[in-house]
Chains A and B, each alone.
Chain A
Amino acid sequence: MNDTLRTAAIGFATALKQQDRVQSFLKAQELFENDEKITALRREYGELVQAYHRKQAAGELQDEDLEQVKSMQKDLNQHPITTDYLTSRNSLVEELRVHNQQMGALLGFDFAASSGSSSCCG
């Protein structure tokens, strides 16, 4: 890849990073990934789901197991850090999709669809 292309990509990312929605998302993401309480809650939820699947496979599932998973899922989803993260992520996705369409008009193809890891072009 030539330097012009690399420099232009960095310039684009730097400008995008200045946007309010990007900044809000990055702050929310940082908290969601690093806050001790939410990390513990996520780990606990993950363990509970694994135990649920084990019991399901062994045919030992009780109604209270499902209730426990649902209750923990609710706690996790309703935690302010999670709601902030999801709200800011949705808001960012909305803005990025519009922006990607504008970029597509300049390029003549969809950059995100062609460059993403799930791209079916590659």
Chain B
Amino acid sequence: MNTENAAVVPDLDTATKAFAEAVVESAEYREYIRTAELFEKDVEAQSLFEAFQNAQQQLSAQQQWGAGSTDEIQRVRDLEQQVQDNTTLSEHFKAQTELVDTLKELNTIIGEELGFDYAALAMPPKTCCSTGCG
């Protein structure tokens, strides 16, 4: 690296910190944290979401074996509608979707600059976030 480049390009630690700081200060991240905190305090929303997830899992397991009645399908649909109508949950999901969209866009920008997909290579093996992104 020549002296001119060294003056322009920050070292990796500094650039990483600046990037992380910009992400946590972004409107999308702050909104995600705000709605996550509301969700953590809202016992009713938590119970509703848990009931929906349980019903969905039970139905999915039953359908794998060719079972699953119309009543059970209707129950999942009703709970899904209640989840969508719940302000705490809908705001939190909306914020999560917007944050993930922003993160994906950032990964695209980084990839265009690098010449390869950063997330695809940096991702830990067998990644799956069961508790959301936060």
Contact = CB atoms under 8 A, between A and B. Distances in A.
The judgment on whether A and B are partners is: yes
Interface of A: 1-2, 4-19, 22, 25-26, 29, 89, 92-93, 96-97, 99-100, 102-103, 106-122
Given A18-B1, A122-B100, A5 B26 contact: yes
B19 A9 contact: yes
Interface range on chain B (Cβ under 8 Å from partner) = 35 or more
A67 to B, nearest CB: 33
14 contacts: A2-B27, A8-B23, A9-B22, A9-B106, A25-B116, A29-B116, A92-B121, A96-B118, A97-B123, A108-B24, A111-B23, A111-B103, A114-B129, A119-B103
B128 interface: yes
Given A9-B110, A18-B9, A103-B16, A120 B115 contact: no
Nearest to A101: B124
A109 B131 CA distance: 11
